[in-house]
Amino acid sequence: MTCVEFKEIAALFAAGALDPPERSAAEQHLGEPTHDGCFEALRRASDTWDAVGRSLPPLRPDARVWQGIASRIEQKPRAAAIRTWTGWAVAAALALAVVGVQGARIRAERRAATLGAASAERDQCARDLAEARSDAVLQREALALLASPSTQVVALAPQQAGASITARALVNLPSRAAVLYAAGPPAPSGKDYELWVIRGDKKLPAGLLRTQPSGAILARIDPALLSETPDALAVTVESAGGAPQPLGPIVLVGALPHT
Ligand SMILES: [Zn+2]
């Protein structure tokens, strides 16, 4: 492994998200006597990951667990379901790092274990796994953002005393990519958290933040909203389903540094 190659995967290394062979190759590389910025890249990735990752420990899906779920489900065949489940199992096994999966996985396992149960259970299990899978995709996007030196980490500050939701956004303006991490209790019953991109006096709706079973929220910000540099990101509490303009209380705000 070269220094250039190491720096490309430093963020994944810091997050513990490399496959064992990649990880040992990276460790071996760090043991070499001279480097071109490898330790700086690693320190930066670790610091950033510590900052953003406290609420979202990177988790590895265990391929055997997923295969086990798939095989148990296949014992109770439903033709359409088998294809889908197998696809999920493969996708999950391929995922390098998954956030928020553990809660979903435990529930999925429990449900799969009692699979004589009604198809409603199976459907819920499918939703849990689908949710976990979309988390994995977003987590990989977030890790890719972390690895880029042009990514800014924007901390969103609570606007209300005692607010327990926290959020940080990884924003890469050159590539118009941004992922928001949040953690905290779900929105009150009948309400949703809604994310806003603020530019001047415009408040552009950027989607609802749905809490995952783990308590984590991961959301991708629509690249179209990043075509011009936003001034800030904000989260409000709105009626379920959200609103085209913010009406509810603001819970989080984070300003983007203008360079
Ligand atoms: Zn090196």
Pair (169, 188) in one structural domain = yes
Pair (45, 110) in one structural domain = no
Distance 43 CA to ligand 1 centre (A): 13
Distance 32 CA to ligand 1 centre (A): 7
Domain boundary among 117, 141, 165: 141
Dihedral angle, C-alpha 116, 119, 125, 128, nearest 10 °: -170
Q: How far apart are CA 143 and CA 8, in angstroms?
A: 11
Q: How far apart are CA 208 and CA 12, in angstroms?
A: 28
What does each of the 259 residues of the chain score in pLDDT, given as a tens digit?
Answer: 999 998 888 877 776 667 778 888 888 888 888 889 888 888 777 766 555 544 443 333 344 433 444 444 344 333 333 333 333 333 333 332 333 344 444 445 554 454 444 455 556 555 655 555 556 677 777 777 776 778 887 878 888 777 677 788 888 899 999 988 777 788 889 999 999 998 888 899 999 988 766 666 788 999 999 988 888 899 989 999 999 999 988 888 888 876 5
Dihedral angle, C-alpha 187, 118, 133, 194, nearest 10 °: -20
Supply the Cα-derived Rg of the chain in whole angstroms. Answer: 20
User: Token pair for residue 116?
Assistant: 């004589």
Other CB atoms within a 10 A radius of the CB of residue 45 amount to 21
User: Token pair for residue 164?
Assistant: 């327990």
Overall number of domains in the chain: 3
Pair (191, 241) in one structural domain = yes
Note the pLDDT of residue 3.
93
pLDDT, one tens digit per residue, over 60-95 is 334 443 344 444 434 433 333 333 333 333 333 333
Dihedral angle, C-alpha 103, 108, 111, 115, nearest 10 °: -170
SS3 196: strand
Residue 147 lies in a domain: no
CATH code of residue 225: 2.60.40
Pair (177, 129) in one structural domain = no
Residue 58 lies in a domain: no
Distance 81 CA to ligand 1 centre (A): 47
Pair (156, 221) in one structural domain = yes
Contact 52/44 with Cβ under 8 angstroms? no
Distance 98 CA to ligand 1 centre (A): 27
Residue 146 lies in a domain: no
Note the pLDDT of residue 63.
44
Distance 16 CA to ligand 1 centre (A): 18
Pair (34, 108) in one structural domain = no
Query: ∠ CA(219), CA(69), CA(116), 5° rounding?
Result: 115
Pair (129, 86) in one structural domain = yes
Pair (235, 160) in one structural domain = yes
What residues make up the domain containing 101? Answer: 63-141
Note the pLDDT of residue 73.
39
Distance 206 CA to ligand 1 centre (A): 39
Distance 143 CA to ligand 1 centre (A): 20
User: Token pair for residue 108?
Assistant: 């999925």
Pair (209, 158) in one structural domain = yes
Distance 51 CA to ligand 1 centre (A): 24
Distance 42 CA to ligand 1 centre (A): 10
E strands, the chain, where?
Answer: 152-158, 166-172, 177-183, 191-199, 202-209, 216-220, 232-239, 250-255
Pair (19, 68) in one structural domain = no
Measured over the CA atoms of residue 38, residue 43, residue 48 and residue 54, the dihedral's sign is positive
Distance 6 CA to ligand 1 centre (A): 6
Pair (173, 242) in one structural domain = yes
User: Token pair for residue 200?
Assistant: 């001047």
Pair (160, 243) in one structural domain = yes
Whose CA is closest to 153, among 141, 167, 166? 167
Note the pLDDT of residue 15.
66
pLDDT, one tens digit per residue, over 156-168 is 888 877 767 778 8
Distance 36 CA to ligand 1 centre (A): 5
